Amino acid sequence: MTDLPKDLRALDPIDLDLLALLEVDGRMPNNALAERVGIAPSTCLTRIRRLRELGAIRGFHADVDPAWIGRPIQAMIAVRIRSDARDAIGKFAESLAGIPAVRDVYFVSGSYDFLLHVATADVSDLRTIITERLSGTHLVAGTETHLIFEHRRGN
């Protein structure tokens, strides 16, 4: 756990507006942003820089359709770690996050320890990941794979 909003009052309504706008369109020009929230461009710039430093904005990314980069198969893999190796979860998940196919890692409560959102070129690659990087590992007690038919972002 790094640093969290210890002080939510650190973000005023203008900051929240900026975050909302940038979440929708991460490329909205600073110019337009400033006018949209009612402050000067220069001020807007310093605010956004601050939001980045605080960690409120973790980064800017293009939303690339996996299908277009040769990864049309998506899946959510639920992974259960062997109870006698729970303390190794961190490093393990870290290494998983390094696999190109892995798009998200969700550490969750419940019968599984984390969910892996992956995108692969074909089911064969998917299987390879499951058998070689997960089930084949002495850390993993079990997995459950769910194909993703469609993935939609919220609004």
Partner DNA sequence: ATCGGTGCAGAATCTTATTCGGTCCCGTTG
Partner DNA sequence: CAACGGGACCGAATAAGATTCTGCACCGAT
Q: Does 24 bind a copy of itself (CB under 8 A)?
A: yes
In the complex with DNA, which residue's Cβ is closer, 48 or 102?
A: 48
Q: What is the DSSP letter of 87?
A: G
Q: Which residue has the tokens 């070129």?
A: 121
**One residue of 29, 41, 55, 142 binding a copy of itself per CB under 8 A:** 55
| Measured CA distances, 138 to 76, 77, 103, 135, 141 (Å) | 21, 17, 23, 8, 8
Q: What is the CA radius of gyration of the chain?
A: 20
Q: Rounded to the nearest whole angstrom, what is the least distance from the CB of residue 27 to DNA in the complex?
A: 8
- For 61, the token pair is 């990314």
Q: Rounded to the nearest whole angstrom, what is the least distance from the CB of residue 51 to a copy of itself in the complex?
A: 8
Q: Does 103 bind a copy of itself (CB under 8 A)?
A: yes
Applying CB under 8 A, the span of 36-44, 79-87, 123-131, 139-147 interacting with a copy of itself comes to 139-147
Q: Rounded to the nearest whole angstrom, what is the least distance from the CB of residue 42 to DNA in the complex?
A: 3
| Measured CA distances, 64 to 8, 61, 68, 72, 103 (Å) | 32, 9, 8, 12, 11
Q: Rounded to the nearest whole angstrom, what is the least distance from the CB of residue 55 to a copy of itself in the complex?
A: 6
Distance CA 24, CA 109 (A): 29
Residues 6+ apart with CB under 8 A from 2: 55
* Interacting residues toward a copy of itself by CB under 8 A: 4-5, 8, 11, 16, 19-20, 22-27, 54-65, 67-70, 72, 76, 93, 97-110, 112, 115, 117, 144, 146-155
